[in-house]
Amino acid sequence: LWQQCLARLERHVPLDELNTWIRPLRLDESKPDQVALQAPNDFVRDQVSEHYLSMIRDFFAANGIARDQVFIEVGNQPRRVTASKAPRQRGGVHGLDDRYRFENFVLGNSNELAFAAASQVAKKPGKAYNPLLLYGSTGLGKTHLLHAAGHQIAADNPDARVMYLHSEKFVSEMIQALRRDSIDAFKRRYRSVDTLLIDDIQFFAGKDRSQEEFFHTFNSLLESQQQIILTCDRYPKEVDGIEARLRSRFGWGLTVSIEPPDFETRVAILQKKALERDLELDDSVTFLIAKRMRSNVRDLEGALNSLIANARFSGRPIDVEYTQEILRDVLAVHDRMITIENIQKAVADFYQLRVTDLLSKRRTRSIARPRQMAMFLAKSLTQHSLPEIGNAFGGRDHTTVLHACRKIEALCETDGRLREDRARLTRELSS
């Protein structure tokens, strides 16, 4: 199949490029159900990954081999450890997604602190900050950084056991273990890892027995300086339903927020993701998408994927007209869709705060008033109920939201400045 792939590439890649980059690759025959290509050095590997890998993957995908089973590594030492085949006993990774790497994470003001913290920890697991906790709303790259740190640790420490786990899975495995009377094995399993990556710890809220178990795992790992990295969708001390002792422990290491990306970062992310697919998009196209899709990277990526898929299928070039045609509905929805997230972002920008400030429990006037404004706008511009809005603001009670709405209305009667703010924000959000 690799020979067929080469023959196919000959038709699309200029001969000198083919000879320089593709021909030196060797197929690793010891991995029959994967396509493990070996490059003679880092340079060739990087060039091929950047420019040809996605074509190679296209070919194998058409022949029934999943894209993530096709990869390139240097010489005989595998750089990539695939989750499913990783050895269980000593060393190895569990549950890591190969796509999420530090190298393909795009940096901007909104995420550089989180990135720096994660890469520090990955360089010195157990020694830099422990635990590291990343928090921020959905689709901003928390899970991506979590996996990236895991990959880095595994690559630098071949003997280390690195385990990624969603909190929900922790809970369900624990329940199973209890049911099967195998809780000791469960404990051993989690306490024997060198690095534990736990995603979305807000899921522990209200699950007392899981918290108890997690608390002990957590302590045992910390004591022996095993690295723990956690993520949460809001400031962790403010997740209701998590025991105080666990909450306070989360804060022992370093807690860093990740914010929605600004325009430039959104453009950079689009360009990077397009390049990964061997496409260079015109600025007019990336600007158009980035301008209109503001709140999170996941949606941005979704729009780009659908654009590329359509263009490949129809053979049309991706220009502004085609983008508008293909993404018409998505963009229209986003334009019209005034989400709580967008409101929080707009209000935070307007008052020069961070979204996480709005979600925090801090009560200083300079934060409390903008927060009330954001709640008011959420109530008046979206269909969400009071409890839903309260929940989106760091898990507040619906009466708090009601109070905020009344307060803003009352103040606007007399306070011209605030009335002006409200009008401007409403206009900005509805335009």
Three-class HEC string of 140-177: CCHHHHHHHHHHHHHHHCCCCEEEEEEHHHHHHHHHHH
106 binds, among Mg ion, ligand ADP, none (CB under 5 to 8 A by kind): ligand ADP
Asked whether position 301 contacts ligand ADP by CB under 6 A, the answer is: yes
The reply, when asked if residue 255 is annotated as ligand binding, is no
Where on the chain is the footprint of Mg ion (CB under 5 A)?
Answer: 142-143
**Quick check: 298 binds ligand ADP (CB under 6 A)?**
yes
Sole binder of ligand ADP in the list 36, 153, 256, 269 (CB under 6 A) = 269
Residue closer to ligand ADP by CB (options 264, 415) is 264
Question: Sign of torsion, CA 50 52 53 55?
Answer: positive
* 141 labelled binding-site residue: yes
| Cα angle for residues 302, 307, 310 (degrees, 5° grid) | 125
Shortest distance, CB of residue 371 to ligand ADP, whole angstroms? 22
78 binds ligand ADP (CB under 6 A): no
Q: How far apart are CA 405 and CA 382, in angstroms?
A: 13
Residues 186-190: contacts with CB within 8 Å, 24+ apart?
186/213, 187/213, 187/216, 187/217, 190/163, 190/217
- 423 vs 369: CA distance, rounded Å: 15
Q: Is 150 in the site for ligand ADP (CB under 6 A)?
A: no
Of positions 106, 274, 331, 374, contacts ligand ADP by CB under 6 A: 106
Q: Indicate the Cα dihedral angle 239, 233, 115, 127, nearest 10°.
A: 30
Contact 404/368 with Cβ under 8 angstroms? no
**Which single residue brings its beta carbon nearest to ligand ADP?**
141
Tell me which of ligand ADP, Mg ion, none is bound by residue 298, counting a contact when its beta carbon lies within the kind-specific cut-off of 5 to 8 angstroms.
Answer: ligand ADP
Residues 127-146 that bind ligand ADP (CB under 6 A): 138-144
142 is in an annotated binding site: yes
Least distance from ligand ADP to the Cβ atom of residue 330, Å: 16
**Closest CB to ligand ADP among 134 and 405?**
134
Residues β-bridged to residue 294: none
38, 54, 111, 227: residue in contact with ligand ADP (rule CB under 6 A): 111
Q: For helices 283-292 and 297-314, what crossing angle results, to 10°?
A: 140
Does 286 bind ligand ADP (CB under 6 A)? Our answer is no
CA-closest candidate to residue 199, choices 151, 136, 243: 136
Residue 276: CB minimum distance to ligand ADP, A: 9
Dihedral angle at the C-alpha atoms of 414, 417, 419, 422, nearest 10 degrees?
Answer: -150
Which of 288, 300 has the CB closer to ligand ADP?
300
Residues 234-253 that bind ligand ADP (CB under 6 A): none
The window from 297-305, 329-337, 393-401, 418-426 that contacts ligand ADP (CB under 6 A) reads: 297-305
138 is in an annotated binding site: no
SS (H, E, C) 39-76: ECCHHHHHHHHHHCHHHHHHHHHHCCCCHHHEEEEECC
Known binding-site residues equal: 139, 141-143
Binding-site residues for ATP, please? 139, 141-143
Interface ranges with ligand ADP (CB under 6 A)? 100, 104-106, 111, 138-144, 269, 297-298, 301
